[in-house]
Structure 1
Amino acid sequence: MLYSFISCFRKKRVGYAARSFFITAVLLLAGCAVTTEPARDVATPAKDELPKIDPKVTASYEAALSAMRAGKTAQAEKALQQLTTEYPNYSGPQANLGILYFQQNELEKAKAAFQASLKINPKNVVSLNHLGIISRGAGEFEQARTYYEKALQIDPDYAYAHLNFGILLELYMGKLPEALEHYQQYQKLTPEEDVEVKKWIVDLGRRAKK
């Protein structure tokens, strides 16, 4: 009975953090390092350093993201693949293609897309975060740790990397004090308090003192 409870608890927590977030910033389309909200974009070059983007490209990219949000998987995949072919120097389409495959549980395809995104832009923290999740699921805990640490070196305020790193440290590596720090940091970086993570912090705080 106890094992069943712990197993369900672990699955709930892992599933909670594995939710994907769409990358909508135009800067990511341009291959610059950006993060999803609420993290601060610390690695973005000055505006005059950014490449000029054809409005048609931006429109196509937004259309692909709209298809993703609407659950039109085939349409979104086709649009993103076309963008990766026509504009191979932009990391955004590859990263979102990875998220699309990730959501469909096609993890090998997702991994390949995220890695392709990193070849274009090694500072793409969204791709690093998702590769961490994929590595964790494959039992490659040290590799997952490397991905999360790299993401946080690039952007220390990237909330989702803190969240997933905390889960890795707590549930898979038994490093409770470190996990607690990352959960607390995640909570500080989110615009609204995450009620679920608040419970984790209280629970982990008690266990870490034992």
Structure 2
Amino acid sequence: MIEQAHCRMASPLLAIVTIIVLSMLSGCGSMKARPTDSATVLETQSGPAFLDEELPSGLTSLLSQARTEHQNENSERALQILQQAAQEFAEYPQPDVNRAIVYMQLEDYEQAMQATENALSKRELYAPAVNLQGVLHRINGDFEQAKQSYQNAIASEPNYANAFLNLGILADLYLQDFTLALSSFEAYLNLVKEDEKVKNWVVDLKQRIPEE
């Protein structure tokens, strides 16, 4: 789902909830309350106030158009609109972050990484872009680099819930660092308050950690 801008009324990144992720997470409860291998691209509807940003009305309009096209499964048109937005509002990283998300759904990971680099050239250490780079590193099997990216996103913006969530899943499923997974999930829950799936993951981890 394309990042949606609402000026000051809501975060421009709170709508990054990909269609793929929603379908992936719907089946997580059947695996002893643990995240599944597929649950790796995570952006939630709840999010921190730091992402609130007043955007130009023209950029808001283009992001909204792109989101609609993407929801209608017209990814090519969505990318065209986002490219236009990136050109017309060159100082803003949001169009490039959205382009990265679309490319990730198309499994064009090279283009996705380039889009995140473009976003970071406009705003250094922009947490959503760094977080997405972590996802891309995870997809490429570079788990330590993924961990570093998530931690960099958190260092850049300590209230960025999505980086904690992705770090927790990486630690649980790929690094088998259950202590890190637990602390990451708990930090995530402290920020978003309500997420029943993640609460279940925490319960499961607390049961497993004493057995180590």
Q: Could you say which TM-score interval applies, normalised by the shorter chain?
A: 0.7 to 0.9
Q: Residue 99 and residue 20 in structure 1: after superposition, are their counterparts in 2 closer, same or farther (change >3 A)? A: farther
Q: In the aligned structure 2, how far is the partner of 1:56 from the partner of 1:165?
A: 34
The offset of 1:185, in angstroms, is 1.5
CA RMSD across the alignment: 2.6
Which residue is equivalent to 1:195?
Answer: 196
Contact between 2:86 and 2:95, CA under 8 Å: does it hold in 1? yes
Which residue is equivalent to 2:209?
Answer: 208
Which residue is equivalent to 2:25?
Answer: none
Which residue is equivalent to 1:76?
Answer: 78
Structure 2 counterpart of 1:141, one-letter code: F
Map 1:67-146 → 2, pairs under 5 A: 67-146=69-148
Contact between 1:73 and 1:100, CA under 8 Å: does it hold in 2? yes
Which residue is equivalent to 1:18?
Answer: 41
Q: In the aligned structure 2, how far is the partner of 1:15 from the partner of 1:41?
A: 28
Give 3-state SS (helix, strand or coil) of 1:108's partner.
Answer: helix
| Unaligned residue ranges in structure 2 (runs of 5+) | 1-29
Question: C-alpha offsets along residues 104-127 of structure 1, whole Å, 9 cap, x if unaligned?
Answer: 111111111011111111132111
Structure 2 counterpart of 1:204, one-letter code: L
Which residue is equivalent to 2:8?
Answer: none
Question: C-alpha offsets along residues 111-150 of structure 1, whole Å, 9 cap, x if unaligned?
Answer: 1101111111113211111110110121111211111111
Q: In the aligned structure 1, how far is the partner of 2:106 from the partner of 2:177?
A: 31
Map 1:19-38 → 2, pairs under 5 A: 19=42, 37-38=46-47
Q: In the aligned structure 2, how far is the partner of 1:199 from the partner of 1:17?
A: 17
- Name the % identity: 28
TM-score normalised by structure 2 residue count: 0.75
| Unaligned residue ranges in structure 1 (runs of 5+) | 1-7, 22-35
Question: C-alpha offsets along residues 77-106 of structure 1, whole Å, 9 cap, x if unaligned?
Answer: 111112222332221111100011111111
Q: Residue 121 and residue 82 in structure 1: after superposition, are their counterparts in 2 closer, same or farther (change >3 A)? A: same
Q: In the aligned structure 2, how far is the partner of 1:157 from the partner of 1:12?
A: 22
Q: What is the count of residue pairs matched by the alignment?
A: 181
TM-score normalised by structure 1 residue count: 0.76
